[in-house]
Amino acid sequence: MTSVNDPWGRVDDDGTVYVRTADGERVVGSWQAGSPDEALAFFRRKFEALDTEISLLEQRVTTTDLSPAQARTAIERLQAAVADAHAVGDLDSLQARLEMLTGKVEQRQEEVRAARDQIRVEARTLKEGIVAEAERIAAEATHWKNSSERLRQLLEEWKAVPRADRSVEAALWKRLSAARNAFNKRRKAYFAELTEERDAAKTRKEELCVEAEALAGSTDWSATAAAFRELMRSWKAAGRAARADEDELWGRFKTAQDAFFRARSEVYSAKDAALRDHAAVKTQLLEEAGKLLLVTDARVARTALRGIQERWEQAGPVPREAHERLESGLRRIEDTVRRAEDAQWRRSNPEALARARGTVEQIRTAITGLEEQLAKAQAADDKRGVEEAEEALTARRSWLAEAERTLAELSG
């Protein structure tokens, strides 16, 4: 076996494999299974495996959140592996890279420590903001439900923020607890006062119910309607009683009010009969107009719709509750007929039709040319030319189908 050298190792005549380092040569293995070149190739691959593993660790340290402790463990393991590596290559450069990586990890550890300190500073700032808002709510808030919910949210925000220094954390928590307690005391005092106001509202609304019940049988429609409007203003100005009392009193008041207005409505109902007749006529006209949506000739539909519109105007006014339903129904039909007219005009537009025909002819001409090109490529056994021509033909035929559909729509 002939001794073989490379820049970083050699194979001796007896098959011993050496690696060269800054400290001199050392044996990394013995090779008897093949040529010296195969031996060096084998041990170079072991070097390449180490190089790859170090490169991956460098990437993890640079681009991921690998912790300094994990990184140091990996570096120490690789340093030991390189020191005892049975490999041929620039092992000194691998050690140098690992030493450089150790410096990066130490720098990262300092950055992590600084980041941790920064987090504590930011946590203090955030929690000071939470406490300040809680103290404002405790001193100023009047929307009790929203403020209670906001205080609950502030507590959750407090829990989500990292901890500040212990002494700062304790002092801020004490202020937050004091603000919450102060808010609860103010809220209790408010609701105690609110109870008094509701009792006064109950008394006043009982009086209004008595007045409303006395007016329920009146037939002086105009004056009594005005009196009920005044009673309603007084009712709203009286404030709210407790919910159960409010519901009961409103039931009494509304019963009296409804009795009066129901009687008045019966008197006025005769006047509404004519309006209802008008609504019936317009309902029939609306049904007649709806059938125009099935007419395929937009011009015919427009002529028929014009006659319906004339009769519609002659029918007269309708009750207020039917007005919007009928008018919006007719507007929808008018809009549909107008869109049909627009579509029919576009289909009959000679310029659009000419453009569509020109597009079809242009694509057909292109397809004829490509078919000739394909035939020539096939005759010349030009596989690339055949493939390109077939791809172009497939695209053009797809375009032709779409262009023919457009032409058919415009011609129809």
For 47-61, the pLDDT digits (tens) are 999 999 999 999 998
- pLDDT confidence of 346, banded at 50, 70, 90? low
Q: Which residues contact 182 (CB under 8 A, 6 or more apart)?
A: 138, 139
Residue 250 has pLDDT above 90, yes or no: yes
Band of pLDDT at residue 412, cut at 50, 70 and 90: low
- Predicted confidence at residue 1, as pLDDT, reads 39
* Statement: residue 11 has pLDDT above 50: yes
Contacts of range 355-358, beta carbons closer than 8 Å, 24 or more positions apart = 356/403, 356/406, 356/407, 356/410, 357/407
Count: domains in the chain:
5
Examine the fold and report which residue of 172, 195, 218 is the final residue of a domain before the chain moves on.
195
Taking all residues of the chain, what is their mean pLDDT, rounded to a whole number? 87
Q: Are residues 151 and 169 in the same domain?
A: yes
My answer on whether 29 and 76 are in the same domain is yes
Residue 102 lies in a domain: no
CA pseudo-torsion sign 227, 232, 236, 242: positive
Split at pLDDT 50, 70, 90, the class of 322 is confident
Query: CA 23, 25, 27 angle in degrees (round to 5)?
Result: 130
In the 3-class helix/strand/coil scheme, how is 132-148 assigned residue by residue? HHHHHHHHHCCCHHHHH
Query: Between the CA of residue 53 and those of 49, 63, 78, 221, 285, what are the distances in Å?
Result: 6, 15, 8, 98, 85
294 within a domain of the structure (yes/no)? yes
Residues 84, 10 within the same domain: yes
On whether residue 336 sits in a domain, the answer given is yes
Domain that holds residue 390: 350-411
Do residue 180 and residue 220 come from a single domain?
no
What are the helix (H) ranges across 291-382? Answer: 298-315, 320-347, 350-379
Q: How far apart are CA 104 and CA 64, in angstroms?
A: 13
Q: Determine, yes or no, domain membership for 307.
A: yes
* pLDDT average, residue stretch 298-319: 85
Q: Decide if pLDDT at 3 tops 60.
A: no
Share of the chain above pLDDT 90, in %: 32
More confident residue, 267 or 82: 82
Residue 124 in domain:
yes
pLDDT for the residue numbered 61 = 86
Decide which of 293 and 46 is more confident: 46
- Give the pLDDT confidence score for residue 19 in this predicted structure: 94
Domain shared by 368 and 298, yes or no: no
| Its pTM surpasses 0.85 | no
Mean pLDDT value of segment 305-318: 86
Q: Domain for residue 98, yes or no?
A: no
Instruction: Give domain status of residue 362, yes or no.
Output: yes
Q: Verify that 290 and 362 share a domain, yes or no.
A: no
User: Do 8 and 81 fall within a single domain?
Assistant: yes
| Residue range 101-135, pLDDT digits in tens | 998 888 877 877 777 778 788 888 898 899 998 98
Based on the domain organization, do 295 and 324 belong to the same domain?
Answer: yes
- Note whether residue 405 is domain-resident: yes
Q: Say yes or no to pLDDT of 386 above 90.
A: no
232 Cβ partners below 8 Å, 6+ apart? 257
User: So what's the pLDDT on residue 348?
Assistant: 63
Average the pLDDT over each of 11-15, 350-354, 358-362, 396-400 and give the range with the smallest value: 350-354
pLDDT in tens, 173-218: 999 899 899 989 998 888 888 888 888 998 998 998 999 999 889 9
Residue 41 or 405, more confident: 41
Domain's final residue, options 68, 89, 110:
89
27/83 same-domain check:
yes
Asked if the model's pLDDT at residue 2 lies above 50, the reply is no
Same domain? For 289 and 324 the reply is yes
Residue where a domain terminates, one of 313, 347, 381: 347
